[in-house]
Amino acid sequence: MAQITFKGSPVDTVGSLPAKGSEAPFFCLVKTDLSEAGPADFAGKRLVLNIFPSLDTPVCATSVRRFNQEAASLDNTVVLCISADLPFAQSRFCETEGLKNVVSLSVFRTPQFGLDYGVTIASGPLKGLLSRAIVIIDADGIVRYTEQVAEIVEEPDYGAAMKVLA
């Protein structure tokens, strides 16, 4: 279990992020067209898992916009924006914002993702949503970088993530 904060108040997650150097846990999430996607759909690509509570918050929306912008220059890399938002809301957000360099995925059918990646919030007002975290997985499925953002209302360290991808 990791302890983070939400507006300064302590909250817990159900576990810890996968260890660097470990094989990334399998996942099967829902795309905006309601089909399912997992690691095989991105075989041979580096994956940036941009995990967050909801697109309906300013910081989450900012992280999706920022990774959309950064992803445009990355070779062999796919940014997966993962939240508990329904696929319809994810699709509407990306269309409205003109975001084409990220893939939105929802955990609404598969809460196991949050357990396997240790990011489900276990206490506090956001209980049941995902914490803000970044996980970078290389083309062979190995975890190369993780960041559990200590304060949910703050942005991740984009520079550190991008350095791993350089």
Give the residue numbers annotated as catalytic, written as ranges: 60
Phi, psi of 34 (to 5 degrees): 75, 5
Q: How many CB atoms lie within 10 A of CB 110?
A: 17
Q: Answer for the pair 114, 130: CB distance below 8 angstroms, yes or no.
A: yes
- Nearest C-alpha neighbor of 104 from the set 114, 115, 89: 89
* Short-list 36, 34, 35, CA closest to 26: 36
Amino acid at position 14, single letter: V
Q: Locate 157 and state its tokens.
A: 């360290």
Measured distance CA(67)–CA(26) in Å, rounded: 22
Q: What's the chain's Rg over C-alpha atoms?
A: 14
